[in-house]
Amino acid sequence: MSNETLFFVCGIALAVSAVAVSLVGLKVKDFPGRAFPLVVLWFVILVGGATTFAVLHAKDEEKAKAAEFQPAGKKFEEEGNDDLRSGGEGAKEEEGGGAKPAPETAAKGPGGTLKLAADPTEIAYDQTSLSSKPGKVTIDFTNPATLEHDVAIEGPEGKELATSALIGEGKTSVSANLAPGTYHFFCTVPGHREAGMEGTLVVK
């Protein structure tokens, strides 16, 4: 017997018992008398049973609804995954079927290796202009002074592209893949660029 059926049975029994007790009470003057505890117990049992089976019936309905929605949820999830897959393939094309432009490729060319040195006594480089062909450009940097310096390459938009190690009385190098354009090189030590330790790197 299902919880729904038991709930209705308890409910009907409770209603019938209430009517019966009312009718007996009208006809019998001393009712319920000694039977009062039994009457109370009977109603407690019926009320408790009706409440319990009502809760169980509600849970059964929730489970049934969940079972109904589960296939629909799986179908929706599968459709969503299909959309994502198709979207991933379609991401390679723009609206209208045109292909998206390829990401920027590395600058092509022979590049070059340039020489740069720090002044042994001043906060300055030995030259303020360098030039190279496009491609991988390397600056070999020599610092004969004990005061530490480095070399950073700055792009046309002011973005730092590469920086060498900070050295004193030594040699290091810095490399960057550069397309044609005008770049800058400078020392990143605070105050050194402001003192004039910078230059222009032309790539063409």
- Tens-place pLDDT, residues 26-84: 777 776 677 778 878 877 887 877 777 677 767 777 776 666 655 555 555 566 555 54
Helix (H, G, I), strand (E, B) or coil at 193: coil
CA angle 51, 52, 58 (to 5 degrees): 90
Domain co-membership, 129 together with 169: yes
Any domain includes 96: no
Residue 68: per-residue pLDDT:
62
Domain co-membership, 143 together with 197: yes
Q: Cis bond leading into 32, ω under 30°?
A: yes
| Beta-ladder partners of 71 | none
Any domain includes 193: yes
Domain co-membership, 133 together with 80: no
Domain co-membership, 86 together with 152: no
In angstroms, the CA 2 to CA 78 distance is 35
87-104 confidence digits (pLDDT tens): 544 444 444 444 443 334
Domain co-membership, 117 together with 55: no
151-180 confidence digits (pLDDT tens): 999 999 999 999 999 999 999 999 999 999
Any domain includes 100: no
Domain co-membership, 85 together with 144: no
Domain co-membership, 145 together with 197: yes
In angstroms, the CA 68 to CA 59 distance is 14
Q: What is the average pLDDT value for the chain, to the nearest integer?
A: 79
Domain co-membership, 117 together with 197: yes
pLDDT band at 105 (very low <50, low <70, confident <90, very high): very low
| Mean of pLDDT values over 174-193 | 97
Domain co-membership, 64 together with 135: no
Any domain includes 101: no
Domain co-membership, 86 together with 137: no
Any domain includes 102: no
At which residue do the structure tokens 């610092």 appear?
143
Any domain includes 145: yes
128-152 confidence digits (pLDDT tens): 999 999 999 999 999 999 999 999 9
Residue 72: per-residue pLDDT:
53
- The 8-class DSSP code of residue 134 comes to S
In angstroms, the CA 65 to CA 85 distance is 30
Residue 38: per-residue pLDDT:
81
Number of domains the chain is built from: 2
The H-or-E segment that residue 186 falls in is strand 181-186
- Looking at residue 166, which CATH number applies to its domain? 2.60.40.420
Domain co-membership, 181 together with 133: yes
Residue 89: per-residue pLDDT:
44
Q: Exposed e or buried b for every residue in 114-141, given b needs 16+ CB within 10 A? A: bebbbeeeebbbeeeebebebbbbebbb
Per the structure, the complete domain to which residue 50 belongs is given by 3-90
Any domain includes 33: yes
At which residue do the structure tokens 């296939």 appear?
71
Burial of residue 43 (CB within 10 Å: 0-12, 13-18, 19+) is: middle
Q: Exposed e or buried b for every residue in 154-174, given b needs 16+ CB within 10 A? A: bbeeeeeebbbeebeeeebeb
Any domain includes 77: yes
Domain co-membership, 117 together with 84: no
Helix (H, G, I), strand (E, B) or coil at 107: coil
